[in-house]
């Protein structure tokens, strides 16, 4: 144990530990204003999320008086996927209530609330929260479990020095994360700009003049490629799908630029019965169905495969147009492709729309130059994205590392003149009966 440090269970460090309840009537009882009701979605590490903050009227609030929040109370999520998330109640949440998924932990005078919150956020304590003594994932924390958690207790002055240092360092990490988060969208927009310049002629405008290349024309997909689709074999027939067989690709795979594996395989019998065509390596796939970003996505087969009816297969005649150019032209016009979808709640593309989709038609030499330039620029962006991911991974490790260092006593220097934590706890224990006598009951 570090000099002047000790440990104590949460039961000895708190005035209150308890959660709330769902208001009568559930979400129907929420109002546009009134007393804030803090739910698990509002509790985030080292912050407070105001999106989704609910409100209840005075009648509902009075029924939850026992779950009243004070400023700087510690709020801990005790159920579900967000179990263990912890924060401090902001000053403007003084008087708010919590529901049954959030526990109020009110520190006594032995422990600084910021220090306490930080320890509850640390890898050491989070690992205890997430696993019970059988090693399985914990779904809920009980009050008894919370009260039993042991907390390292430095002298109070050192707790405050640790909390101050963490506030400074974590603010820098947060600022760094914000800056890094802005880079990804910039790189994505750069890719889109490159594709737009490539398919509008701007990327090779000077090259075209220097090489005295012919002007562009417009063609359609079916002029330069054969377009087809596939189908889904009857799943109730166990002879149609097998662990080993011909790869069968669905529209979900179009999220990859190059499809090299399949999650399912079909048999020769399924191919014969459903007249499935085996598409060669290099076939371009366009997702015709799918919600979100799927519809309109473009990928390329890196394996010979069959496909389902949600994909259009484009087999480019490279004597007419380079496959690599067709792929980037389709990717550049992803949004225009999506706009062609028809139908009610779930609009879809169809083969006639794919076949008639317009393509710019530069000379073959210019197509090759465009592809070369795009690949060069995208390779550069790939390197930047790899560096970004490495930086983001490094910053994700900073906070746990910093917290671990803090609670090993390595973040700030110890001061031998600080009152020891044992003396601090003795004073608190002696003061507790006097507090109770004055009618200020301490609960835990």
pLDDT tens digits, one per residue of 308-342: 999 999 999 999 999 999 999 999 999 899 899 98
Three-state secondary-structure class, residue 292? coil
pLDDT at residue 443 is higher than 50 = no
Q: Cα separations (Å) of 284 from 230, 265, 312, 325, 357?
A: 13, 19, 8, 11, 14
Other CB atoms within 10 Å distance of the CB of residue 343: 10
Three-state secondary-structure class, residue 29? helix
Dig out the tokens for 239 from the structure.
């002879």
Taking the C-alpha atoms of residue 10 and residue 24, their distance in angstroms, rounded to an integer, is: 31
Query: Any alpha helices (H) in 309-363, and if so which ranges?
Result: 323-332, 334-339, 351-355
Burial (0-12, 13-18, 19+ Cβ within 10 Å), 133: exposed
pLDDT at residue 184 is higher than 80 = yes
Burial (0-12, 13-18, 19+ Cβ within 10 Å), 210: exposed
Report the Cα 278 to chain-centroid distance in Å.
37
Q: What Rg, from alpha-carbon coordinates, does the chain have? A: 31
Nearest to 49 by CA among 19, 75, 68, 16: 75
User: What percent of the chain is predicted at pLDDT more than 70?
Assistant: 95
For residues 35-61, average pLDDT? 95
Taking the C-alpha atoms of residue 351 and residue 105, their distance in angstroms, rounded to an integer, is: 61
pLDDT at residue 438 is higher than 90 = no
pLDDT band at 439 (very low <50, low <70, confident <90, very high): very low
pLDDT at residue 71 is higher than 80 = yes
pLDDT at residue 87 is higher than 90 = yes
pLDDT at residue 138 is higher than 90 = no
Q: How many CA atoms lie within 13 A of 379 on its CB side?
A: 6
Q: Would you state the pLDDT for residue 173? A: 96
Q: Would you state the pLDDT for residue 435? A: 54
pLDDT band at 442 (very low <50, low <70, confident <90, very high): very low
Nearest to 22 by CA among 42, 38, 41, 43: 38
Q: Would you state the pLDDT for residue 433? A: 63
Q: Would you state the pLDDT for residue 132? A: 56
Q: Mean pLDDT, the chain, as a whole number?
A: 93
Query: How do strand 102-107 and strand 14-19 relate by DSSP bridges?
Result: antiparallel
pLDDT at residue 32 is higher than 60 = yes
Query: Any alpha helices (H) in 333-420, and if so which ranges?
Result: 334-339, 351-355, 364-406
Taking the C-alpha atoms of residue 329 and residue 200, their distance in angstroms, rounded to an integer, is: 10
pLDDT band at 393 (very low <50, low <70, confident <90, very high): very high
Give, as one character, the DSSP assignment of residue 441: -
For residues 104-112, average pLDDT? 96
Q: Would you state the pLDDT for residue 137? A: 55
Taking the C-alpha atoms of residue 275 and residue 309, their distance in angstroms, rounded to an integer, is: 12
Q: Would you state the pLDDT for residue 192? A: 94
Q: Would you state the pLDDT for residue 48? A: 96
Q: What share of the chain is helix, strand, coil (3-state, %, to 5)?
A: 45, 20, 35
Q: Would you state the pLDDT for residue 344? A: 74
Q: H or E segment at 215?
A: none
pTM of the predicted structure, to 2 decimals? 0.77
CA angle 198, 202, 205 (to 5 degrees): 115
Handedness of CA 380, 382, 384, 386 (dihedral sign): negative
Q: Would you state the pLDDT for residue 135? A: 47
Contact, 86 vs 77, CB < 8 A? Answer: yes
Q: Would you state the pLDDT for residue 73? A: 97
Dig out the tokens for 297 from the structure.
């996505």
For residues 354-359, average pLDDT? 96
Taking the C-alpha atoms of residue 114 and residue 104, their distance in angstroms, rounded to an integer, is: 14
Give, as one character, the DSSP assignment of residue 213: P
Q: Would you state the pLDDT for residue 388? A: 97
pLDDT in tens, 169-181: 999 999 999 999 9
Question: From start to end of 20-64, where are the E strands?
Answer: 35-38, 43-44, 47-48, 54-56
Nearest to 193 by CA among 299, 332, 359, 328: 332
The DSSP secondary structure of 273-286, one letter per residue, reads: HHT---BPTT-EEE
pLDDT band at 292 (very low <50, low <70, confident <90, very high): confident
Other CB atoms within 10 Å distance of the CB of residue 361: 20
Burial (0-12, 13-18, 19+ Cβ within 10 Å), 240: buried
């Amino acid at each position: 144990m570090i000099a002047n440090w000790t440990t104590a269970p949460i039961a000895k460090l708190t005035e209150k530990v308890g959660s709330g309840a769902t208001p009568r009537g559930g979400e129907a009882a929420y109002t546009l204003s009134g007393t804030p009701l803090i739910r698990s979605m509002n509790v985030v590490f080292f912050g407070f999320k105001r999106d989704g903050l609910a409100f209840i009227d005075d009648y509902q609030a009075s029924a939850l008086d026992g779950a009243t929040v004070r400023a700087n109370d510690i709020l801990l999520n005790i159920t579900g996927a967000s179990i263990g998330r912890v924060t401090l109640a902001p000053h403007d949440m003084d008087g708010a209530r919590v529901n049954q998924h959030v526990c109020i932990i009110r520190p006594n005078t032995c422990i600084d609330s910021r220090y306490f919150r930080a320890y509850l956020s640390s890898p050491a304590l989070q690992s205890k929260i997430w696993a019970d003594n059988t090693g399985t994932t914990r779904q809920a924390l009980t009050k008894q479990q919370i009260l039993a958690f042991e907390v390292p207790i430095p002298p109070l002055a050192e707790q405050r020095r640790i909390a101050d240092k963490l506030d400074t360092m974590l603010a820098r990490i947060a600022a760094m994360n914000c800056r890094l988060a802005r880079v990804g969208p910039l790189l994505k927009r750069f890719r889109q700009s490159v594709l737009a310049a490539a398919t509008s002629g701007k990327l090779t405008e000077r090259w075209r003049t220097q090489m005295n290349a012919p002007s562009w024309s417009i063609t359609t997909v079916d002029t330069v490629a054969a377009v087809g689709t596939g189908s889904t074999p009857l799943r109730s027939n166990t002879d149609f799908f097998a662990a080993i067989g011909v790869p069968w690709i669905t529209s979900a795979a179009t999220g990859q630029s190059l499809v090299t594996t399949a999650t399912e395989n079909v048999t020769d019998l399924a191919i014969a019965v459903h007249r499935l065509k085996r598409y060669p390596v290099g076939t371009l796939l366009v997702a015709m169905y799918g919600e979100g970003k799927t519809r309109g996505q473009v990928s390329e087969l890196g394996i010979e495969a069959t496909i389902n009816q949600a994909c259009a297969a484009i087999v480019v005649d490279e004597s007419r147009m380079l496959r690599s150019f067709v792929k980037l032209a389709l990717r550049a016009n992803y949004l225009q492709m999506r706009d062609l979808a028809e139908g009610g709640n779930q609009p879809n593309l169809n083969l006639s729309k794919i076949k008639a989709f317009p393509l710019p038609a530069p000379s073959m030499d210019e197509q090759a130059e465009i592809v070369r330039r795009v690949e060069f620029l995208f390779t550069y962006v790939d390197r930047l994205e790899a560096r970004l991911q490495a930086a983001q991974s490094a910053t994700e490790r900073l906070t746990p590392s910093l917290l671990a260092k803090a609670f090993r006593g390595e973040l700030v220097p110890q001061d031998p003149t600080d009152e020891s934590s044992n003396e601090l706890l003795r004073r608190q224990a002696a003061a507790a009966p006097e507090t109770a006598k004055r009618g200020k009951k301490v609960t835990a």
